[in-house]
Amino acid sequence: MHTDGKGPSGKRPTVLIYGHYDVQPEDPVDSWTHPPFQMTYDEAENYIYGRGVDDDKGGLLQALHCAELGVKARHGEESYDTIERRWHRPTLEIVGMHGGFIGQGMKTIVPHKASAKISCRLVPGQVPDDIFEKVAAYIKKVTPRYATVHVKRMGGSAGQ
């Protein structure tokens, strides 16, 4: 979405919202109620499902709502503009988590095992092996003494 900044007063700022969000993977297939990569109309729900039919749809509605409501403040590192913060800064995201009871029904338990997958966006000057070692060291440093943690590299860097 883009606006040229020419509102009624001529003083409105330019707004550019990046709308690219990766498609949710197909697996596990049995977790989905509608097939991936094709538009499906569900008559009973009067709803259109389109998982994977467009790589840019996810989150766009939220961005439009933000624009509609107005942005009250910038977020992120103050010394970087929005484009730099969105595309040129390193990131660390949790991309998957698992733990506790996941079967039918409820159990109020403390899980004996949990896992998380993370992904890091590296920028020029960062070395994948160095960043892996630093992230692993930090995770081990903040792990409570009564817990055990295993950090496993799953690839993802250039050339792997």
Q: Digits of tens for pLDDT over the chain (160 positions)? A: 445 556 556 666 666 665 555 666 777 878 788 787 777 888 888 877 777 665 555 455 556 556 656 555 666 778 887 777 777 888 888 888 888 888 888 888 778 888 999 998 888 899 999 999 999 999 999 999 988 999 999 876 554 4
Buried b (16+ CB within 10 A) or exposed e, 52-84: beeeeeeebeeeeeeeeeeeeeeeeeeeeeeee
Amino acid at 60: L
Out of 3.40.640.10, 3.40.228.10, 3.30.70.360, 3.40.50.1370, which CATH number does the structure's domain 90-160 have? 3.30.70.360
